[in-house]
Amino acid sequence: AQTVTQSQPEMSVQEAETVTLSCTYDTSENNYYLFWYKQPPSRQMILVIRQEAYKQQNATENRFSVNFQKAAKSFSLKISDSQLGDTAMYFCAFVRAMEYGNKLVFGAGTILRVKS
């Protein structure tokens, strides 16, 4: 089965500190894409960062970076200098092939609360 596991249902961090959200996945494919999406209280889904599995270099987008360990099938998200606006549900996802196209397989999500 191709699944995504986020083992931390909830986390909290103080403003300006660093937090890491964990994600593991299971796939038999060799080339694939991984994503972190953010869902703030507004419910809007926002792409945070994207990683291509064939690239060894970890992706970085401003304060957001990933630690991609392909052999361990681990894809954690690090948020540096946390801000109140980072408070949201975070979903890890990877692309799975379907018959006519692909789909995103999502984890259950981690609620992150940034405290002032």
Q: Which residues bind another protein (CB under 8 A)?
A: 4, 9, 32-33, 35, 42-45, 47, 50, 52, 91, 95, 98-104, 106-109
In the complex, the smallest distance separating the C-beta of residue 108 from another protein, rounded to whole angstroms, is 5
**What is the C-alpha separation between 30 and 95, in angstroms, rounded?**
12
Contact assessment for residue 32 and residue 82, using Cβ atoms and an 8 Å cutoff:
no
Comparison of 13 and 104: residue with beta carbon closer to another protein: 104
Cα–chain center distance at 48: 8
Contact assessment for residue 89 and residue 106, using Cβ atoms and an 8 Å cutoff:
no
The count of C-alpha atoms lying within 13 angstroms of the C-alpha of 54, restricted to the half-sphere facing its C-beta, is: 4
In the complex, the smallest distance separating the C-beta of residue 2 from another protein, rounded to whole angstroms, is 11
In the complex, the smallest distance separating the C-beta of residue 17 from another protein, rounded to whole angstroms, is 26
In the complex, the smallest distance separating the C-beta of residue 10 from another protein, rounded to whole angstroms, is 12
Comparison of 15 and 73: residue with beta carbon closer to another protein: 73
Contact assessment for residue 105 and residue 96, using Cβ atoms and an 8 Å cutoff:
yes
Comparison of 64 and 106: residue with beta carbon closer to another protein: 106
